[in-house]
Amino acid sequence: MSTDTRSIDEVLTRLNNRQRIRRILTVVGIVAVIAVTWIGMGFLGFQYDDLARQLPTFIQSLTEFLSPDFVDFTGYSRENEITGWAGLYESLLRPGELLSSLVAQEGIVGVSVVTIVIGFTGTVLGFPLALLFGVLGSERVTPFPFNFIFRGTMSTIRAVPALVWILIFIPLSGISPVSAMLAVATDTIGNLGRLFTDELEEIDEGPIEAIRSTGASSSQIVSFGMLSQVSSSFIAWTLYILEINTRIAISLGVVGAGGIGQYINLRIDLFAYSRAAAGLLMVVFIVLTVELTSSRLRARLRPEEDSDTSLVDAIKSLGDMNKWLGTNAGKK
């Protein structure tokens, strides 16, 4: 009896010791994380006094952000110096002025269209090579290990963000909308091509065998046995990448490639925060419009996909930096 009691006490003591060690390790872990964070903040030059000194300036700029000024919305509002929300309202009442600003690429409405065109043309230009690399990267089309040549190429492209691709294209076309379009197209090859490859790996073997049994050539097997199964998915993924590329086009504008991103950056440099706020509202409008349109079209093509993106979910997705930078476009 005493032996059993001693055994129970030993087990209880051992459990208590484990729990005590676990608590100590938890506290040590939290302290270590806080210490590393504090050291990291110091490494980045964080100074509390500097932030406190700049806080009034920050609050003043934030106040200006809360009162958007649409004086630059169109050439009409700018020439007539119609400030505040009136600039937007008066411009919308004049479709002719909107069209004129759109064609002349002036005002917020003009540069917004430039951003959308960069995303669209970049996606279209990148699609053919994405399709080629995506198909040839599939082991069902290109035998192992040769398919890894195309997979490796796409992985290399995906490893380089669009913000870096545009720097590579500077010698070709400078920092311009053309360079942004080429950067988006290059990024599309890697991201969209990889999605195509993954989609081909999941198709049914039955239709392929049926086509092969008829004596069809390799190209006919690929066209009628494989691509016919994934054509809707390919279009859906292309629409998704178009949505991502529109966000990337906005980011590229911030580094000077034109579009609404460049407008916002220039206004912030000039401390015209209320005008920058008008540009930011236009960004929200563009992103939500493209995302909701893309989601609805994908829902038509892929009923199994949960594309009932609500307005609230779409607004929440604006905080996803990976989407803005296009770093998670290839993740499924």
Token pair 């998670």 is found at 328
* pTM beyond cutoff 0.85: no
CA 162 remoteness from chain centre: 10
CB count within 10 Å of CB 125 equals: 17
Please report, in tens digits, the pLDDT of each residue of the chain (332 residues total).
Answer: 566 676 788 888 888 888 999 999 999 999 999 999 999 998 988 888 888 888 888 888 888 888 888 988 988 888 888 888 888 888 888 888 888 888 888 889 999 999 999 999 999 999 999 999 999 988 888 888 888 899 999 999 999 989 899 999 988 888 889 999 999 999 999 999 999 998 888 888 888 888 778 777 777 888 888 888 888 888 889 988 998 999 999 999 888 888 899 999 999 888 888 999 999 999 889 888 888 888 888 777 765 555 555 556 666 666 666 655 555 554 44
pLDDT at res. 332: 44
